[in-house]
Structure 1
Amino acid sequence: MLQRKLAALLILLPSSLSLTVTAQQQTPSNPVAPSQLALALPATASLSTEESHKPAFESSSAEGVIRITPAPQLEKELPSQRPFRTAAFGIKANTLGAGAELATPLFGRFNLRSGVNFLAFAYPFGIDGVNYNANLHFKSSQSTLDWFPGGHAFHISPGILYSKNTVSSAATVPAGQNFTLGDQSFINSVGDPVHGNMSLAYPRTLSPMLLLGFGNILPRNSRRLSVPMEFGVAYTGAATINVNLTGTACTNDGCTSFGGNSEVQASLTQEIHKINEDLKKVPVYPILSLGVAYHF
């Protein structure tokens, strides 16, 4: 009896196991609704299609798309590049005197600069035994076009110089001293010593000039202070000198008055000519300048 029950159990057990496996394969063990499936997906998956078509400047988040538009880049013109809307003021010491100048930008790498110079001082010197106490009176103004070829400190500045430079001097010879005029030697009289005056002048009042320098008194940045330096020449023409002498001087042949002796006057003319020939070798006026400037 027991054997028959065991045999029946062994026959029914495989069939039961087969039905259980079949049911599990046909019915999901944990069914999920479509709406729940959508919520379970990552946020980036729902935006993947939209992200593939959005522009490079858009960014996305879990809540949607954020469009970022960059602000337009406006080129701000520096104040120092506005013609006649900004200026710089400078002071300088140069061979034309103590100077002051104003400058304004024109365009690109060009500035327009104008200034004035004043100089007055005494300078004693002697030539061939004749003593001179020169008084120099220099007054001038200039305008230049400053070109900065490299866009930096170095500049080339052609311009115009207006000058009224004069030199006047008293001419004296100590009593009893030897002096020379031309090829003739004299001994100055003790009772009526030789004396007179000298003047020097330039033939041009309006002269072209060319300067080279370093430093821009209108810097194309935020700097305000600058220390410009320049050197160059102005074509003023050679200066000429004139000398007038009176009094009595003596030679081996005796003493004679300068005012009424033609030979003495010829010697004086020869001396003046010799000096002017030396001055002709320098038809330009040298210019050296160092200053400080402030850009408003």
Structure 2
Amino acid sequence: MKSVKGSREKQELPPMKSGSFRLIVMGSLIVAGLSLPAISAAADKDGAGLGIGLRYSTLGGGVVIGKSLGKNFSVRVGLNSFSEGATEEIDGIQYDADLDLSSTSLMFDWYPFGGSFHFTAGYVNSDNELIGQATPTGSVNIGGEIVVPVTAGDLVLDGNIQIGSGPFVGLGFGNVPEKGFGLVLEAGVIRSGAPDISLEVSGDATLIAAIDQADIDAEIAAMQGDLEEFDIFPVIAVGFSYGF
């Protein structure tokens, strides 16, 4: 087996990253701390205080908890998750792919007009990745080297594309801590940086021997080049909330 990683080294991490845990704890402490009587009094003046919401977005399904900071500001923490798999055969190559999205967020909302319209800034800590496997039954080009497997399974390509964490900016309508039920719409972007790519080649020893490390490097470089411009992850969310 030969393996190589992209320009940034990939770290093996448990399902719940330590950064995600710290972000949840920090956000929870902030929300709890903002429940001090003086601040709560300001929130209660507008019939708002603490709220919870459910939403679905390009980050997956999620839950959010928000705390009012008065008429024009609020803070919220969120958790999102999504998983989906697919299998497809294209031009004699079987592709198996699994998309796993998992993220936590800490957001601050500003309501410039005191209504539901708001601007948002914050940070999204994510463990988003696309895991793919290609099993060719015909000739395949790997970094310029043409390899011809005899039977399916003689050659297997395992790839991993990981999307990183980053700051978030956006705007939307809705106020999670606002009293009663409400609709929430939001759009923005995460500055996640270019995805990290890794590639492994396995299978028949004779075929593997014909593939140089330079061929694998060239294949990864081509993939990295194709994805280099995708350093921004778009977020579109819709959901509802209930404020106490």
TM-score, with length taken from structure 1: 0.61
Match of 1:194 in 2: 155
Alpha-carbon distance between aligned partners in 2 of 1:257 and 1:240, rounded to the nearest angstrom:
29
RCO (CA 8 Å, sep 6+): is it higher in 1 or 2?
2
Q: How many residues are aligned here?
A: 204
Alpha-carbon distance between aligned partners in 2 of 1:114 and 1:95, rounded to the nearest angstrom:
17
Is the Cα–Cα contact under 8 Å of residues 158 and 210 in structure 1 kept in the other structure?
Answer: yes
Is the Cα–Cα contact under 8 Å of residues 133 and 169 in structure 1 kept in the other structure?
Answer: yes
Is the Cα–Cα contact under 8 Å of residues 80 and 86 in structure 1 kept in the other structure?
Answer: no
Alpha-carbon distance between aligned partners in 1 of 2:108 and 2:91, rounded to the nearest angstrom:
44
Identity of aligned residues (%): 25
1:261 is aligned to 2:207: no
In the TM superposition, what is the alpha-carbon distance from 1:182 to its structure 2 partner? 3.0
Pick the structure with greater CA Rg.
1
Alignment RMSD (CA, Å): 2.7
2:201 aligned partner, one-letter code: L
Structure 1: unaligned runs, 5 residues or longer: 1-75, 249-255
Q: SS of 2:209's equivalent?
A: coil
1:179 is aligned to 2:140: yes
Is the Cα–Cα contact under 8 Å of residues 159 and 210 in structure 1 kept in the other structure?
Answer: yes
Match of 1:278 in 2: 226
Q: From the two aligned structures, give the one with the greater strand fraction.
A: 2
The 3 A distance-change label for structure 1 pair 92 and 268 is same
TM-score, with length taken from structure 2: 0.73
Structure 2: unaligned runs, 5 residues or longer: 1-40
1:247 is aligned to 2:203: yes
In the TM superposition, what is the alpha-carbon distance from 1:149 to its structure 2 partner? 1.4
1:91 is aligned to 2:51: no
Match of 1:144 in 2: 107
Map 1:112-261 onto structure 2 (within 5 A): 112-124=75-87, 130-174=93-137, 177-190=138-151, 193-202=154-163, 204-205=164-165, 207-219=166-178, 224-247=180-203, 257-261=206-210
Match of 1:251 in 2: none
Alpha-carbon distance between aligned partners in 2 of 1:102 and 1:125, rounded to the nearest angstrom:
39
Alpha-carbon distance between aligned partners in 2 of 1:213 and 1:105, rounded to the nearest angstrom:
16
Alpha-carbon distance between aligned partners in 2 of 1:80 and 1:163, rounded to the nearest angstrom:
36
In the TM superposition, what is the alpha-carbon distance from 1:130 to its structure 2 partner? 4.6
